[in-house]
């Protein structure tokens, strides 16, 4: 990893913030679809809505980040803005498979755990066993986020999703 190790974690967090803003714009663009579904009295159980949100929100956001990182520049718009890129441990392009593993663990897993928690805990009809699952999902999602951020500041700053995908973020 090149560059100043003291600023790289902060730059990665700012880059993620930029990317999250873009993803949030996409999520906001889905609001009319949600209103249309509500207006047409589409009734689904909480885990059904969770599945719908996974397909129309989490998967596209994950694929979007994957596509950017798999390209030659190896950078999402946020990373490009901050002069960062995702590379293999040998300095090569991450490619589709590594970028997909990286973003599935970075975006899809914690987001889906958070959605599962929110859907299960927001439904008053959720029984005690599903309520406990919702609480567990919330704790795991928050724990993952904490581990991911903490890992940026420890050692070489490689997160668990960097390690699982055999990638690193360089400047």
104-162 pLDDT per residue, tens? 999 999 999 999 999 888 887 777 888 899 999 999 999 999 999 999 999 999 999 99
Which has more confidence, 38 or 31? 31
Beta bridge pairs of residue 93: 87
From residue 106, give the alpha-carbon distance in Å to each of 33, 41, 112. 26, 34, 11
Beta bridge pairs of residue 87: 93, 168
Q: Alpha helix locations (H) across the chain?
A: 8-29, 31-39, 46-53, 59-70, 77-81, 95-103, 109-122, 128-152, 160-164
Sequence-separated (6 or more) residues with CB below 8 Å from residue 143: none
pTM confidence score: 0.88
Q: pLDDT band for position 2 (50/70/90)?
A: very low
Q: pLDDT band for position 38 (50/70/90)?
A: confident
Torsion 11-145-96-158 (CA) sign? positive
Q: Could you give the angle at the alpha carbon of 103 between the alpha carbons of 20 and 78, nearest 5°?
A: 35
Give the residue among 28, 42, 89, 98 at the shortest CA–CA distance from 69: 98
pLDDT above 80 (res 65): yes
Q: What pLDDT is stored for residue 54 in this prediction? A: 94
Q: How far apart are CA 71 and CA 136, in angstroms?
A: 36
Q: What pLDDT is stored for residue 126 in this prediction? A: 73
Percentage of residues of the chain with pLDDT beyond 70 = 96
Span 47-65, average pLDDT: 93
């Amino acid at each position: 990893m090149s560059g100043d190790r003291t600023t790289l974690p902060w730059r990665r967090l700012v880059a993620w913030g930029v990317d999250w803003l873009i993803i949030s714009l996409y999520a906001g663009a889905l609001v009319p679809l949600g209103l249309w579904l509500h207006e047409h009295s589409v009734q689904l159980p909480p885990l059904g809505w969770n599945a719908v949100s996974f397909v129309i929100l989490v998967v596209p956001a994950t694929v979007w980040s994957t596509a950017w990182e798999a390209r030659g520049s190896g950078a999402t718009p946020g990373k490009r803005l901050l002069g960062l890129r995702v590379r293999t441990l040998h300095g090569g392009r991450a490619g589709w498979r590594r970028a997909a593993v990286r973003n599935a663990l970075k975006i899809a897993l914690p987001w889906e755990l958070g959605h599962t928690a929110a859907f299960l805990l927001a439904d008053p009809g959720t029984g005690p066993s599903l309520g406990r699952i919702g609480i567990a999902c919330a704790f795991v999602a928050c724990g993952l986020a904490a581990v991911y951020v903490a890992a940026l500041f420890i050692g070489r700053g490689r997160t668990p999703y960097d390690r699982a995908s055999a990638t690193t973020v360089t400047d």
